Every structure is written in structure tokens, then in C-alpha cells.
Amino acid sequence: MSSDPNTDVIHGTLDLLILKTLSLEPLHGFGIARRVEQISGRVFKVNPGSLLTALKRLERSGCLESEWRQTENSRRAKYYALTPAGHRQLEVESAEWNRRSSAVQRLLAAES
Amino acid sequence: MSWWRHLTAGIEALARRTETERDERDEIQHFLEEAAAEYEARGWTRREALRKVRLEFGGEMQAQARLRDHGWENLVEALWTDLRYAARRLRGEPVVAGVTVLTLAVGLGAATAIFSAVETILMQPLPYPDAEHVVSVWDVGEDGAPLELTFGTFRELIERSHSFEALAVFKPWQPNLSGTEVPLRLIGQSVSSGYFETLGVRPEIGRDFRPQDDRMGGPREVVLGHSVWRDHFGSDPEIVEKTIQLDERDFVVIGVMPASFENLLSPEAGIWSSLQYDMSQGRAWGHHLRAVGRLRPGLQLSAATREVEEIAATPWSDFPRPQWASLDRGLRVVRLHDEITALVRPALLAILGAAGLLLLIVCVNVTLLLLARGVRRRGELALRRALGAGRKRLIRQLLTESLLLAAIGAVLGLVFAELGIHGLVSLGPSDLPRIHAVSMNSTVFAAGLGLAVLVGFAFGLVPALRATETTSHRDLAYASSRLTGRRGLPQALIVVEVALAVVLLVGSGLLLRSLEGLLGVDMGFEPDRAQTMQVLVSGDRFDNRVTEAFFARSLEAVRSVPGAASAAFTSQLPLSGDYDVYGVRFGSEDGVESGEGGMFRYTVSTGYFESMGIPLLRGRTFDRRDEVGDHRVAIVSESAARTRLGGLDPIGQPLRVGPADLPPYTIVGVVADVRQASLALGDAAAVYVLSGQWHFADDVRSLVVRSAGDEGPQPADLRAAIWSIDSNRPIVRAASLRELVNRSVGERRFTWSLVQGFSVASLFLAAAGLYGVLAASVDQRSREWGIRSAMGASRRANVALVLRQGLALTALGTTCGVVVAVVITRGLVGMLYGVSNLDPATYVGVVALLIAVATLACGIPALRAGRVDPVTALRAE
């Protein structure tokens, strides 16, 4: 558990981040983590426990499919890719996120 | 279909556990490797890179633990681990586990069995369609008690009442089945044509009686019960339209009832004939018909009652009523279910209450056992918490253990319940309605199981919460040393347990005192060394003269059987269920009547009072002169002589019973009162006349034979003597007088023995609980005993301290129990005889018993406290 609040993924958004990341190209676990970290400008940091659990859950609910591949340095790595259901889920979740974040922004604007 | 993927993925993960685990490990390792490789690429050494990764992402094990928490298959696995661990723990302490499981099983089994019976008998609707519409109709006697209907009243109701969809009357019928090896009497009913329709049942094969055939001289037809059809006619599928011989007459079988038919109005009846009522000679006005009706759909019982009351209150000239069937006191409509259960309801509820109390005690006891276990394991649990086990995890573990106990207890309890139900069915008094329909039903099963689970949760949670609420060093210290813990809860539970045991013991004591009181009453006859059997005649051949001659010759034959001191025939036997009452008038013929009312009527042979052992109080008994003479003589019971004659000397007084045109009897003797209907009912007014001096010959008579010595005549010899006169006479109901007496208190004995069993069990449990709590406390305080001894306390002082503690709890529990018993036993008052529910002897006895048992239970741990060696105790730990 980190003491730096910036590195925690906002609760409930990890799925969205994974889906969005995988919509670009199939990746393995660390790749996803790195990509999330890079794109978010190091705001979000993902630890393997949460990430792999989320991947397992998404795979079971049919949003992802996975396959084991050999990497360049000849290790086994599990690559995840979005399924059609995953694409749909991404649309639903990003719409939901936009709705919520704009609501929050409106609230903040009204406050100031 | 995502649940399906969850399911299959879970199953796959379970099935290929090693591969799944390897994959998970590989994935995590790959993640961490990649991260480390990145650091290395940026110029860190391998070691430093690995360290940074660890700091950034945590260790491999942590990630794996997170991953493990997800997916149902991992929960199953954890549960399985818990279960295996729980089983191992329980095996490690077989005594505690065994006692807990057994206690729970006994409590659950008893409660489930009793509840099954009560549910079937009291709560389930009767096994008829729309059973709540089936009612009994009764006339009302002088004493306000229900009285059988007359045929005249039945006819009037059929014509005038609109409340009933169907209405039928019936009376007992016991035909003699001819053509069998041993003369056989069947038990059956003569029913009017609407009987089966009223109950809503139809024959399985063949047809019901037709209304147009239900008339005097109609076709002789019978419907067979399933068991009679099976036992005596070999389940002949072609039986319908065949002719059988009953009472030496031809009857055509028209139908067979289904096996599922429960004939609650006469449970033993297995054959039915058409009533074909003989209305000649004014015989339509005897009170000897039971009536059963089916209310119109949707009609309330109260509406039907109003209507028949209205009919009773407004006679029509079309239906002239004699004075004794004037319906002045109205008519009564009773729901059949209420009528059947009315007599057994108090006893069943008492038994149910006792079983409930036992179950409570069981719950308390199991809680105590598990609490003690929790205390013993406090150290272990604290250690596990200190090593990093989560509180949730520990609670889950403890719950698993207690649920496992509860589950084993429940399974065993269901076995006990099944056995208990079998026991109830076979040992229960035969007059318990629907006892054979009692079986463990799914509701009761579920209730029992639910209770067990609840008990398990409750018992698991309390110690679990208590054991895991803190992880102080003090608790950790339990692992190695023993400190004085909180003892408030166990002590409170002990008080509750003792109090409940007192309540049960008081209840059982009161029932026992009633039973003893009943068996100790002066029955008016001598029940030992006398045997009885019932002999029947039937058929056209047996007119009054032939019948009388047959019984007279049979009696002579019986009297010559070796071992018979005296023998007699009687029309009814005390405590046998016979109930034959006639209106009797005393006083002279010129109309000055000094008393009138119903009295038990016995037609007897000479020697009856000697054979029964009924003491003669005044005058004389019947003798040979009366048998041949024309002078009609009678003997009355003491209470009749006392209450009905207005203080006159009974000897020589006239008495009228039977048809009014016959001359009166003269009273020649007074005998002691006999308990006829039940041991609890005294003061039975009775009149005895010689069978030859009665206006008809009773065709069912009971033989009473008093033995000369301890070894009486063999029943087979007695039967042979009667069959030497006529080999076609059925002989039934062979029993000793003592057996009749015992059978008459069968239901009370049954109730008492169940309550007794429960109360003994509760006493054991309370004693065990007391012992367990004190023993644990003595063990925990061993250091204290050592210190006390070291400071100079004598051994005796230590023993007294523990005894005092235990007995103080007992005294408190007993006091509470007595108070509760005083209140609760009010519910028993209706079932008590000759003893108040506040009977001091019972209470004193129970308290003494409890204190004795408690002293024993406290004594063992107390002595152990006294034996503690100060040096060992202080050095230990």
C-alpha cells in the first residue's frame, strides 16, 4: 500500500483504463501497467496484484481473451486482447465515466 | 452467459490447480521481470533494479495473495482447507466434539420427532378434501355433554337444514366373518348412504352405497376397507359383485376403499354396510347414531351452528319429537378436526413444551461447551493473529468448526428424529389420532436443519468474537500461562440451564404424582388375578332365548376349567371403553319419583361381583333363585343409592329402567362404586341386573375369570371351553383386568414417560454443564489454589470455596426455576389428578434432587482444587 495518493488508481476506474489501453493493441500485464502509467503522465501506478485480479475478472466476464506467447527474450507472457464484448463494455464505461466526470466538473465550477 | 464462463473457468482452475498456480506465478514473475528489466535498461544494476521493483510493486507473494482472493473456486478451496482443519481439530478433542454432537443430536432429534407428531396431529388438515368443512353434529345431554343423535333428529335435519352439502349417520357394526378357520369378528360401521360422500372419498374399485338402497329391507351390500380386502380376500381384483357371508347372511361386495383412506371417525373399521334403519316400533328415537356432515362451500361454522340451533328451537308438527329427543338443549356442530384432537391437545402441547425446553437446555449446554473451547484456544488464536491471520479469516475458521459440529449433530439428530418417530408410532397410545400418519415431513426437516445451522452460527460466533476481539499481550499470554478470565457468561448460562431443568423436573414430577394417584385410587374392583375376553353371538339363529342359553352353557363350561375360582359374563367391563348408559327412574309406581338420570347399565350373570372383586356393601348379590324366579331384582352402586334415593333405605326400593310397560325391579343390594369410564372419574352411578331379566339378550358380552391361585387358567383353555359349546363364536379382546387398567392410563403414562425422559436428560445436561464450568474454572485458577495453600489456606477451605461457588449458582438457578415452574405448570392443571400444580412434595423433591446432583457435579472439581500442590502450581508455567 502506497502512501502517495497520486499513484493509486481511482477506485472503480481500473477496468476502464485496462479496456482503453487494450483497445489500441494486445498487451501483456506489465505492458498494460506501463502504458497506463505513461499515458497518465505518471499519475496512475498499477501494482501487479490489482492488475492481474482485474484482468482475471474481465477475462471471465468475457471482455478479454488471452493467449500465452513467447517474448523476445524467450519468456512466457500472457497477452490480453479485447473481445467484441470488451469493445462494447469500453463504450459503456467511457460514456459512464464522461457523464460522471463532467458532472463533477460542473459541480466544481459552481463551487468556485 | 458470463456466469457460465465464471463457472467453467472456476472448475477448470480447480481441476488443473497446479497448472493454474504455475500460470499465475509466471504471469506475476513476468510482470516483475519486465519492470526490473526496465530499470536495468536505465542503468541500475540487477540487484538494485530488483530492489526498486520490490519497493514499487510489492513482493510476488502479495500479488499472488491478491489474485487468490478472486474467483469462487478459491473460496471453495479456502473452505475446504478450513473444513479439513476443523475436522482435524475436532478429532484432536474427541470428547468435547462427541459430547457436543451427541447433545445437539438428542435435542434436535427429540424436538423434531415431537414436532413432527404434533404437526401431523394438531396442525395438518384431516386427510379429506376441504377437510375444514367436515363437522360432527351432536345432540346435548342433560349434563351438557354431547349426546349421540337419534334417527328422528337426523331425518329432520336432512329435511330442514340448508347448511350441509352432505350429512350422514353411522353406528358401530361388528359382523362375524363366516368360513374362516378361527371365528373372526370384523370391526366396521353401519353407515347411511352419504357417509363416504361427506368425507369426500370414493371407493378405489366398485361403487359407493346408493341412496335408494338405504332403506329397511334394501339389498345387503358391503364396502371393504383396503386391509380387510388384502388380509381376508387376498386382494381379489374381481371381488366386486361377489357374495360373502357375514353373521351367516349373504352380502354382496360393491366396492373397496383405497389404502390411503383414513377413517378417523372409527379408525379400526374395515368394513361398511348400509344402515337401512329400522324405523318401526318407535326405534327411531334411540340416541345411538353419530352424525358427520360437510358444510356447503364457503359456509362458516358459526352460520351452520346458528341454523341448527334455530331448527332445534322451532319444532315442526311434521317432525314430532319425544320428550328425550326434544332438542331443548339445542344441537352442536363441531369441526371434526377439533373434535378428534380435543382430548389429546393438552398432552401433546405439554410434550412439545417439554421437548422445546430440552432443546433450549441443549443449546445452552452446547454454547457452554463451545465457550469453554474458545477460552482454551484463546492463546492459539492470539498467536495466529499475531502471525498475521486476519480477523475475518479466524472468525471464518471458528464458524466452520462450529458449523461442522452442528452439521454432524444435525445429521445424527435427523437419524434420532426418525427413530423417535418410529418409537412414537409404535409406543404411542393407540387412541392417539392419526399417529400412523406421522412421518418426518420436509417442513420439520428444514426447520430442524435451519435450527442446527443457526445454533452453529450462534455458538461459533460468540467464542469467535470473544476470542478475536483484541490481540493484546494479555491474550497472547494465554498461550503460555493461565489467568483468571471473565466467567460471567458461562455462569449466567448455568443458572439458565439449572432453571430449565427444574421446570422440566417439576412438570414430570407432577405428572408422575398424578399417575400414581390414579393407579392408587380405589377402583371399586380387584384388578389382579383376573382375566377377561369378549364373546360375541350374531346371526338370525340367535334370538333372545338361544343367546341366553349359549352364554349360560358357556359359563358352566368355563367354570369347570382348572384354575378358575369364579367366572361371570357382563355386558360391559370397567375401563374397557364400553360406555352403556340408560335412563333410570327410582320411586314407587304411583308417580312419586325421587330421582331420575342416566346410569351405567350392566347385565350380568351370577358371580359377577365375586369374579370382579367388587365389594358388597349392603343387602345381597344375585343368586340362583333370581335366575329362575320371576321377581325382577337389581343391584345399584353406592353413589346411586346415596344420591338418587333422597336418603331412603335403598333395599326394597323399586327402580325402573328399560321399556315403561315392564314391571319395575326391586333393589336387593348395594355394591361399591366402580371406575367405569376412566380412573379419573369417580362416583359412577350404576345399575346391575341379571341378563335373563333384561328385555333383550346382549349379543356382545365379556367374560371375567378370577384365578384360584397365582397361575390362572390358560386363555386357550377358556377359549376351548366356550368353543366346546359353539365353535363359531368369535372371541376377542383377551386381556387381564390389570391390562385394562394400565391401558386406560396409557396416554397419561405416555405423556409422563416422554416428559420424564426429557427431564432426566435435562438433569444430566445441567449437571454436565455445571461440572464443565467449575472444572474449567478450577483448572484456570490452579495458580490461585497454589497461592492460597501457600498462604496457609487448608485443603478443606479450597474445596469449600469451589463447592460454595457451584452451589450458589445451583441455588440461584433452582430459585428461578421454581418461580418459572409455578407459572408454567398452570398449563398442566387439566392433566393433573389429585395433585395441585403447586404440590409442595414435588417441588421439595425436585429441589433436593437437584442439590444432590449439583453437589456431585461440583464435588469432583472441588476436590481437585483441594489437591493442588502449591509448589507445582506456583512453578508451573
Give contacts of A47 with chain B, Cβ < 8 Å: 57-58, 63
Sign of CA dihedral B201, B204, B207, B208: negative
Residue B734 lies in a domain: no
Total of domains in chain A: 1
Contacts of B861 (CB under 8 A, 6+ apart): B771, B774, B775, B777, B778, B802, B806
**Coil, helix or strand at residue B648:** coil
Residue B82 lies in a domain: no
Based on the structure, what is the number of domains in chain B? 5
If asked whether residues B283 and B245 sit together in one domain, one would say: yes
Final residue belonging to a domain, choices B273, B296, B328: B328
Beta bridge partners of A80: A27, A66
Rounded to whole angstroms, how far apart are CA atoms B703 and B722? 10
- A48: chain B residues, CB-CB within 8 Å: 28, 31-32, 57-58, 63
Cα separation, B308 vs B154, whole angstroms = 11
- Asked whether residue B162 is assigned to any structural domain, the reply reads yes
Instruction: At B396, give phi and psi (nearest 5°).
Output: -60, -40
Give the number of other Cβ atoms within 10 Å of residue B45's Cβ. 10
- Taking the CA of residue B16 and the nearest CA in chain A, the distance in Å comes to 16
Buried b (16+ CB within 10 A) or exposed e, B530-545: bbbbbbbbbbeebeee
Residue B798: how many CA atoms within 13 Å on its side-chain side?
28
Give the Cα separation of B473 and A65 in Å (integer). 50
Q: A52 and B34 in contact by Cβ < 8 A?
A: no
Q: Which residues contact B360 (CB under 8 A, 6 or more apart)?
A: B500
Q: Which three cell numbers stand for residue A104?
A: 463533477
Mark whether B446 and B504 lie in a shared domain: no
Residue B527 lies in a domain: no
Q: Are residues B264 and B182 in the same domain?
A: yes
Inter-chain touch A53–B70, beta carbons under 8 Å: yes
Chains A and B form CB pairs within 8 A to the count of 74
CA distances from A53 to A59, B24, B61, B359, B614 (A): 10, 10, 14, 47, 93
Q: Which domain range does residue B514 map to?
A: 487-521+745-877
Please indicate, yes or no, whether residues B643 and B719 belong to a single structural domain of this protein: yes
The residue count of chain B comes to: 877
B497, B501, B502, B505 alpha-carbon torsion, rounded to 10°: 180
Q: Are B165 and B105 contained in the same domain?
A: no
> Range of A81's domain?
5-111
Distance to chain B for A22, nearest Cα, Å: 16
Q: Kindly report the backbone phi and psi dihedral angles of residue B240, in degrees, each rounded to the nearest multiple of 5, phi listed first.
A: -60, 135
Largest separation between any pair of C-alpha atoms in chain A: 55
CA-CA-CA-CA torsion for B610, B616, B622, B625, nearest 10 degrees?
110
CB of A45 within 8 Å of a chain B CB? The answer is yes
Do residues B475 and B495 share a domain? Answer: no
* Domain co-membership, B717 together with B833: no
B516 and B383 both lie in a single domain:
no
B296's enclosing H/E stretch is none
Give B642's Cβ-side CA count (13 Å radius).
10
> Do B476 and B517 share a domain, yes or no?
no
Residue B633: inside a domain: yes
Mapped onto helix, strand or coil, the DSSP state of residue B286 is coil
Cell digits of residue B123: 396442525
Numbered residues of chain B with Cβ closer than 8 Å to any chain A Cβ: 1-2, 5-6, 9, 23-24, 26-28, 30-35, 37-38, 56-58, 62-67, 69-71
CA B755 – CA B350 distance, rounded (Å): 8
One-letter amino acid for residue B842 of the chain: T
* Cα–Cα nearest to B479, from B369, B385, B397, B367: B385
Determine the Cα–Cα distance for residues B557 and B721; give it in Å rounded to an integer.
5
Cα B468 to chain centroid distance, Å, stands at: 45
Do B455 and B359 contact (CB within 8 A), yes or no?
Answer: no
Nearest to B30 among A30, A47, A56 (CB): A30
Residues B297 and B421 in one domain: no
Dihedral angle sign, alpha carbons of residues B34, B37, B42, B47: positive
Residue numbers in B near A31 (CB within 8 A):
34
pLDDT of residue B798: 85
Whether B589 and B722 map to the same domain: the answer is yes
pLDDT tens digits, chain A, 112 residues: what are they? 333 434 556 666 888 888 888 988 888 888 888 888 888 887 777 878 888 888 888 888 888 888 888 776 667 788 899 899 889 999 998 998 899 889 989 988 886 5
Nearest to B582 by CA among B596, B569, B595, B568: B596
- Which of A30, A53, A66, A88 is best to mutate for the B interface (most B CBs within 10 A)? A30
pLDDT at site B531: 95
Those residues of chain B that have pLDDT short of 50 are 479-485, 590-595
Label each residue of B152-213 as H, E or C. HHHHHHHHHCCCEEEEEEEEEECCEECCCCCCEECCEEEECCCHHHHHCCCCCEECCCCHHH
The pLDDT of residue B1 is 53
Asked if B27 lies within 8 A of A57 by C-beta distance, the reply is: no
Instruction: Give the end of a domain, one of B448, B465, B480.
Output: B480
Supply φ then ψ for residue B277, to 5 degrees.
-65, 135
C-alpha cell at B629: 324366579
Cα–Cα distance for residue pair B149/B290, rounded to 1 Å? 6
Give the residue from chain A lying closest to B53, CA to CA: A47
Q: B125: which DSSP letter?
A: P
Identify whether the C-beta of residue A51 lies closer than 8 Å to the C-beta of residue B68: no
Are the C-beta atoms of residues B851 and B810 closer than 8 Å to each other? yes
Q: In chain A, whose CA is at the least distance from the CA of B20? A: A56
Grid cell of B39 as nine digits: 530499470
Say how far apart CA B139 and CA B163 lie, in whole Å: 17
Which residues in B lie closer than 8 A to residue A75 (C-beta atoms)?
30, 33
CA angle B685, B690, B696 (to 5 degrees): 100
- The single-letter code of the amino acid at B697 is A
Which residues share a beta bridge with B332? B138
pTM over 0.80: no
Would you state the pLDDT for residue B313?
A: 92
Q: Are residues B680 and B542 both part of a single domain? A: yes
Amino acid A10: pLDDT:
66
Element (H, E) at B731: strand B731-736
**C-alpha of B33 from chain center:** 74
What CATH number is attached to the domain comprising A20?
1.10.10.10
Can you tell me whether residue B341 is helix, strand or coil? helix
Task: Select from A29, A56, A75 the Cβ nearest to the Cβ of B70.
Answer: A56
**Which pLDDT does position B793 carry in this prediction?**
83
Which of A44, A60, A89 should one mutate to test binding to chain B, selecting the residue with the greatest count of B CBs within 10 A? A60
pLDDT tens across B246-283, in order? 988 899 999 999 999 999 999 889 999 999 987 765 55
Among B22, B30, B64, the residue to mutate for chain A (most A Cβ within 10 A): B30
Contact B746, B568 (CB under 8 A): no
The whole-angstrom separation of Cα B771 and Cα B391 is 32
* pLDDT of amino acid B605: 95
Q: What is the DSSP letter of B149?
A: B
Which segments of B441-487 does DSSP mark as H helices, in order? 442-468, 473-478
d(CA B708, CA B49): 113
Contacts of B57 in chain A (CB under 8 A): 47-48
